[in-house]
Structure 1
Amino acid sequence: MMKNKSNRFSLWIIAVFLTFIVFSISLDQAFAHQPTLSSWVADDPDDLDTIFSAGDTLTITFGAATNATVGPIVSQAAIDGNYTFGGTVSDGTYTGLWTDATNFQITIITTGTTPVLTTTVVTATAGNTIGIAGEGAGADATHTLDPAVTTSALTGDFGLKKKTGGDIAGISPSYSTAFAENEYPISIGDTKFKQSQLAFAVPTTVIETGKPVQVKLLIYDNDGPSYIAQVELYTNINGLFRDVSHSDTHIVYKKGNPTTILDPNGFFSDVVLSSSVVNQKLQLTYEITFAKEMEKSDIIIQARDAANNVGILTVSEAWQVIQAPTVVETTDTPTDEPTDGSVPGEIKVKSLNVEKASYLKDEEILFFGTVDEYKFGTAITIIIRNPSNNFLTLISTTPDKDGYFEAKTKLDSKFKTDGTYTATAFADDQNRGTQAIFYFSRDAPIPTTVKTSPVQSTQAEPTTPKPRSSPSFVDPEKDPQSYVDRYNNEERYREWFDVNFPDYTIYEAVGLAEPTEEKVPGWIKNNAKWWSEGQIDDGTFVSGIQFLMTKKIIDIPDLPEQASEKARPSFVDPEKDPQSYVDRYNNEASYKEWFDKNHPDYTIEEAVGIPEPIPGWIKNNAKWWADGQISEDDFVGGIEWLVEQGIIKI
């Protein structure tokens, strides 16, 4: 009897033990499959200001690898489905990117409510899909982030830029200080305003849809124009309350970053913003085309310097947008011409380049390239990976109407390893991007064996012969130019030198570079630079080159003979705006197909008699020549090509 009781007790002990093991395993599985959130860190990659602003990043780091897909851009809706941000951030706009399986980086496009460092908390949503690596997207709720325990307070900073002189509070950017009588802080179209005039009612500028209007701002800062870090233009402000908090439409200039546009109502069809310095003031020029009507609206300008001092300018009822009148056109093409249109395809990056093959720590690298077509609002993202092919950083930009884009970044402390880095530029999917490579070194001499990417455009370093030793008469303590001056001005000295040193030129003898004979006067470089920076248009630049070539100021030897101008095809109406034909060709696939088939010997620009657009690389050449990065011969070669193609006519 005792034996049976003993057996039953033993079995009971075994059963309890097995139950405990199973229960422990279940708990371990449940909790082991829930990711943890380690940190939430703010950063301003360019450190141009100290405020929460466009371009800032918020990086969420997890305690272990997750089930996330690394690489593709994550939409705001998908981000909001996984996280909440303590009542802040979400009223702005942003995108995300998994830089690896444990780090998720959010990039701010337009700011909402500013999060508070050490206070604002990121929390997982109840329906989040962030699971551990190797599992699906959170089908089992016990395997995803637990909202009750997965939180992290924000650390880091919104920028470390500090004012180097004077009081940190400083003086706000001004719209009247140091302004000459003929300088105006704002102009809209042909109407210019002094700040003193804006205290009273001013005329409203009426703008038609589809017709570009130019807005110019001129802003002074006591620390110089380069100290102005950000300028915001707010509009669609009307009604009883008229301040920036009641504007849902704005354009933001941020020094060193692409233009940021918030336009939820679709008012704009195109916005081009350029900056320049005029009389030690920052000038911003906006070329804005409206797509739809806007009621009378104020414009409010907020200019911020690097210490976050803000200067405000308000123009009450500044503008009103009305619908352009509809023009009924008769057909101007043969009856068999197709009239249906087509939707442009995906934007693709055609090329990505860097200025040179190798860089050192703290240098600035310029990326530039082209896309296959221009589309308003397209953003180009450039991801940089280190020699181990791990994500390092990203920058973004927008192409201009010629499809050209450029972006800069500083090779700062993030670049820790010597070696070859890869940059990938893309519009939608980095797997279909275009790459360029460059070599980076922190302090060591750059290897001569670095190989560059086939898509990379670099300027080869010229090789120079080993310098010859100077003749014995040359005193190394004496200014070498003095010998050259004697040779050029004293006939007997020149004869003595030529007889005694027939194997030298005077420049070789004293160790100076031989002067080069320039075909193009040096002052022309200013025009080339202004054109490359968008301060003068294509037509002005081409007209200047035409004049200089006609007057033989620019005298290009062996200039190719230019073909005579072609006769206009019969379908072209001389009374009609020729640009309308070009627009149809660029926007209607069937029209393009019809034209190419029936007029194979013409470009659309030749057919309607307007100059062809100048390719972006010619602008690059002009800039590089103006900056001394390429030779005059390289620049002249580009001009010859323009003449050959008939873009410049003599």
Structure 2
Amino acid sequence: MILGFTIVISVIIISVGTGYAYALDYTYPTINQRLTEIPTYCAVESISNKIESSEMDEMIQKSEIAVNTWKQKLQNSEPTNKEFWDMKFKKISKNESVSEDCTITILFRDDPEFSGSLLSKTLGAFMRNTIFIYYANQESVYGDKWMDGILKTIMHEMGHTFGLGHYTTDDNDVNNKIATRDESPPSIMFAPAHINPDVRKITDLDVSQVRSIYGSYGFHAFSEQRPSEIIIENPTLPLDPEYPFEFTKISENTVKLFRHQDTLLKITGQVNNDLYMQGHHVFILITNPDLSTQVLKITPTRDGFFETFVNFNYKSLPGKYSMEFAYFEKIDESKNLTFEVEQTDIPLPSEIENLNILSVNNDAEQFFEMGLYADAIKNYKIVIKNSNSVIEPLYLNALNKIGLALIELRDYEKSLSYFEQVYEINPDYPDIEKNLENSKLLIFANGTPIEEKTELSVPGWIKSAAGWWISNQATDGVFIEALEYMQNKGMIGNYEFSNYSQSFVPGWIKQIVSWWVDGRVSDEEFLKTIDYLSEKGIIVI
């Protein structure tokens, strides 16, 4: 049996901090989770076909090593009653049911499946008497050390089963530095977790913290029927679960990001009057969508109320955030909070005559680098519409970047059409052959056949230009330039064309073009019509 309910997330940092020049404050709180008996940890074989059987066997072995390591550390710290800190391990095969003697179950999953409470990139979690280990995320974070990452994540999550919270300091830069240096962090429960699993270890501080929770009676401390033969003179008493907050609250469950204004998230709470002591701070550990962390330290008012703000702008990471509150080295998991940050539709620049294409292109490039691919595509399309020539660098760059953005958005077929447009205009464009090949491979990998184009197939960019022309978003010159391209490619006859300044296209031709753009006329029929009209001099180019 165990007391309490908890959801705890493992974290990892990826950035490097700077130095500090003042005394640090740190917190290593306890949560309200308690074991009420000598625990048995049961590792269950996964039935997933996404993991090799040999890898599954190794993960089971790592689970047993984690249990035995904690057991050895705790028993070595006990001079007399080592059996008080006993732990058992059991393997549950994929064909077996979890037995009643399993205190804590260890399950292996490819990805987090509890989208309502967990971050998508989390490495592990402890909830409802179960440790979840997400091996796909381990591999993406730790690379070829992912199996060692699994071992250390199990050790970390076992700490939560004992009642340990996260160890952290009040300086985010220092936390980042600790997470990236070639030394062991102060605790296996350190948040953020170290980027190198090799240096993560169960420390003396961790052992001392577990012993402070259970006191002299070890894992018998919270048993409803403590063995009568256990008699200890002047025992160290265990720590009962406590509830440090009357409430915690945030102003918004969903934070909207706008391009030209900041958004403030208001955080408020009330410390329980029975626990409030003047001079003690509230620590708030925020875990970001990329699993980096930030720590806030707040001084409550004399009546225990606290309030602070977190600033978000359009550069902030979109996604789910979690928030953990600690006071006087105690956490009430039921008062932890989550919220989401969402990108809004960022207004696009108005299409006016004096539109600064360079500025729009710079915005598109910035959105692309930030991973805001939908907004990047919108801006690149404005660049395309307002470019003076299909061969100018901004035009080709916009086409290519839209293709790359569509790959990120998993729209592989559309990405291929944009890469084809670039290739048709300039086959020597940097990396275009590689982009074409990657796009085709992704389409093939997703089971979509690639149809071979006929000789009379018209490039997609020409149809796009035609669509802009018939809707008066492009001049006659843009459409004539497209016709010239088709002539150069041998799609229509080789006629003597005049300069752009003398070019004209009868307005009624737009009706024919609109039928083609809408798909009511095939490429072949459209080309034959244009060829005939050009030959007869009805269209002068």
Asked whether the two chains share a fold, i.e. TM above 0.5, the reply is: no
TM-score range, shorter chain: under 0.3
User: Greater share of helix residues, 1 or 2?
Assistant: 2
TM-score, length basis structure 2: 0.22
Higher-RCO chain (CA-CA 8 Å, sequence separation at least 6): 2
User: Greater share of strand residues, 1 or 2?
Assistant: 1
TM-score, length basis structure 1: 0.19
